[in-house]
Structure 1
Amino acid sequence: MKDRATVLCIRDGRVLLVARARARWSLPGGRIRRDETPADAARRELEEETGLVATELTYLFWFGGLGTLHDVFLAGVPSDAIAQPSNEIARCRWFVPSKIATLSASVPTRGIVELLLPHGRIQVVTPSGQTGAPAGGSVTIAAK
Structure 2
Amino acid sequence: MKKRATVICRKGRRILLVARESKWALPGGMLKRGEHLADAALRELKEETRLSGKSAKYLFDFKSKQKHHHVFYCDISNRAKPRPNNEISKCRWVELDEMRRLLTSTPTDDIVRLASQKRKNGRGK
TM-score (norm 1): 0.80
Q: Determine which structure has greater relative contact order: mean sequence separation of CA pairs < 8 Å that are 6+ residues apart, divided by chain length.
A: 2
Residues 25-60 of structure 1 deviation map (CA, whole Å, 9 limit, x = unaligned): 000000011120111110100000000000121100
Separation in structure 2 between the aligned mates of residue 100 and residue 117 of structure 1, nearest angstrom: 13
Q: Structure 2: how far apart are the matches of 1:33 and 1:140?
A: 26
Task: Report if aligned partners of 1:97, 1:117 keep a CA contact under 8 Å in 2.
Answer: no
Tell me the distance in 2 between the aligned counterparts of 1:104 and 1:51: 23
- The question of whether the paired residues in 1 share the 8 Å contact of 2:20 and 2:90 is answered with yes
Gaps of 5+ in 1: 126-138
Aligned residues: 123
Q: Distance in 1 between matches of 2:116 and 2:6?
A: 16
The match for 2:2 is 2
Structure 2 counterparts to residues 80-99 of structure 1, below 5 A: 80-99=79-98
Residue deviations 1:3-31, cap 9 Å, x none?
A: 0000000013200000123x310000000
Three-state SS of the structure 2 residue aligned to 1:3 is strand
Structure ID, larger Rg = 1
Name the structure with the higher helix share: 2
Equivalent residue for 1:128? none
TM-score (norm: length of structure 2): 0.91
Over aligned residues, Cα RMSD in angstroms? 1.7
Aligned partner of 1:30 in structure 2 is: 29
- 1:140 aligns with 124
Report the counterpart of residue 66 of structure 2 in structure 1: 67
Stretches of structure 2 lacking an aligned partner (at least 5 in a row): none
Q: In structure 2, the residue corresponding to 1:54 is in which secondary structure?
A: coil
Instruction: State the match for 1:54 in structure 2.
Output: 53
Question: Residues 2 and 67 of structure 1 are in contact (CA less than 8 Å); yes or no, is this contact kept in structure 2?
Answer: yes
Distance in 2 (alpha carbons) for counterparts of 1:117 and 1:103: 18
